[in-house]
Amino acid sequence: MEIYRWPGEPTLHQILREDGTLAREEPPGVQDQAQAWYRFMVFCRRFDQKALNLQRQGRLGTYAPFSGQEAAQIGSFAALRRDDWVFPSYRELAGMMYHGLDPAHALLFSRGHPAAGYMPKELAMFPGQIIIGAQLLHATGAAWACKLRGEDRVAAAFFGDGATSQGDFHEALNFASVFQLPVVFFCQNNQYAISVPVTRQMATPTVAQKAIAYQIEGIRVDGNDIFAVYDAMRYAVEHARSGGGPVLIEAVTYRLGPHTTSDDPTRYRDPEVHDAWARAKDPLLRLRRWLERQGLWDEDQERAWTAEVDTRLAEATERMEQTPMPDPASVFDHVYAQMPPALRRQKQELTDLRGRV
């Protein structure tokens, strides 16, 4: 009797060590992009902080911060084409902004503005999914459409470690495998699903190994190493685009902030573990050290860029707050392509009531 067993120690694809030295040769294209990536990571880190501050001031509603996951998000989105399908979760604003979402638009989600959901026409990107794991099936279906239509686009689904417990995760991997679809499943294992640690989410030592059960390729990558993330995603996207089928990537990372502005992570986190991720493993520090070694970055540039970012964020905040308030009667406008009679009557009722106020 042969018994199948997980064969050994988990692997972790790493290029950039925590001290900013290279563990192996960096992938092509990285030299040219690294400084722009770093700038964008700084922008996103400060965007995240700005959003938290705006929430505390009552200028934004619930916000789900992504700090700590900038390398995982920017490195993965950087390997996508602008016309590829993108199905993110709600904690993906760094990647989405890198892909082309205006920061003022990104803030509208937490503003509670309906216009937030209208994604830029030039992108095939969905707004962040709230239901955990539901978007994996949408990505699988969109990839299926690309294959049937003979398009060379791929679809990418972004999700966290918690999503891997959902049925939709398994159904998506299975459908993608059975029909050999051009889809990349990109999991940011940030160690916690709200308060539940990944060790309670799964008994398997990794997310990536779940690919084996579906006879698809799996990669486990250091999610705080933007070179390795980009390398893994570039490989996966190319694999999918060239007809090789789906890939599951696990980016091992860490959520530095709370789950959302309504969450208190001190209730469930180990402070020592947290400190290690917050200091030595910070994805921004790591890339900055490398850039400094290359002579591509210094303290003056850091200061100048930080000031520039703050100006841009102030400007984005202003534009977000100047977005006209939605007309409540517009709530009826996008329920159906043609408004049914009952909705027309209800819209009229709401309009009349407001007219009287």
Residue numbers annotated as active site: 255, 259, 268
Phi then psi for residue 192, to 5 deg, are: -140, 140
**Maximum CA extent, the chain:** 79
Q: Is residue 171 at the binding interface for other proteins, with CB under 8 A as the rule? A: yes
Q: Is 146 exposed, middle or buried (0-12, 13-18, 19+ CB in 10 A)?
A: buried
Q: Is residue 336 at the binding interface for other proteins, with CB under 8 A as the rule? A: yes
Q: Is 163 exposed, middle or buried (0-12, 13-18, 19+ CB in 10 A)?
A: buried
Task: Give the dihedral of Cα atoms 191, 68, 168, 9; nearest 10 deg.
Answer: -50
Q: What mask, x for binding other proteins by CB under 8 A, covers residues 87 to 126?
A: x--------------------------xx-xxx-x--x-x
Residues 211 and 170: beta-carbon distance below 8 Å: no
Least distance between other proteins and beta carbon 164 (Å): 15
Q: Is residue 325 at the binding interface for other proteins, with CB under 8 A as the rule? A: no
Q: Is residue 154 at the binding interface for other proteins, with CB under 8 A as the rule? A: no
- 21, amino acid identity: T
Least distance between other proteins and beta carbon 349 (Å): 12
Residue 211 tokens read as 């690919």
What residues form DSSP beta bridges with 349?
Answer: none
Q: Is residue 208 at the binding interface for other proteins, with CB under 8 A as the rule? A: no
Q: Is residue 274 at the binding interface for other proteins, with CB under 8 A as the rule? A: no
Q: Is residue 141 at the binding interface for other proteins, with CB under 8 A as the rule? A: yes
Conformational region of residue 120, where left means phi above 0, alpha means psi within -120 to 50, and beta covers everything else? beta
Which of 345, 354 has the CB closer to other proteins? 345
Which of 110, 253 has the CB closer to other proteins? 110
Q: Is residue 341 at the binding interface for other proteins, with CB under 8 A as the rule? A: yes
Residues 13 and 63: beta-carbon distance below 8 Å: no
Which of 74, 173 has the CB closer to other proteins? 173
Which of 167, 355 has the CB closer to other proteins? 167
Q: Which of 23-31, 127-135, 241-249, 250-258 is the region at the interface with other proteins (rule: CB under 8 A)?
A: 127-135
Q: Which helix (H) or strand (E) holds 124?
A: strand 124-125
Least distance between other proteins and beta carbon 335 (Å): 5
Give the C-alpha separation, 230 to 79, whole Å.
6
Please choose, from the candidates 246, 267, 228, 268, the residue with its C-alpha nearest in 3D space to the C-alpha of residue 173. Answer: 246
Least distance between other proteins and beta carbon 37 (Å): 28
Summarize as ranges the residues that interact with other proteins (CB under 8 A).
85, 87, 114-115, 117-119, 121, 124, 126-127, 131, 134, 136-146, 148-149, 155, 167-168, 171-172, 174-175, 178-179, 333-337, 340-343
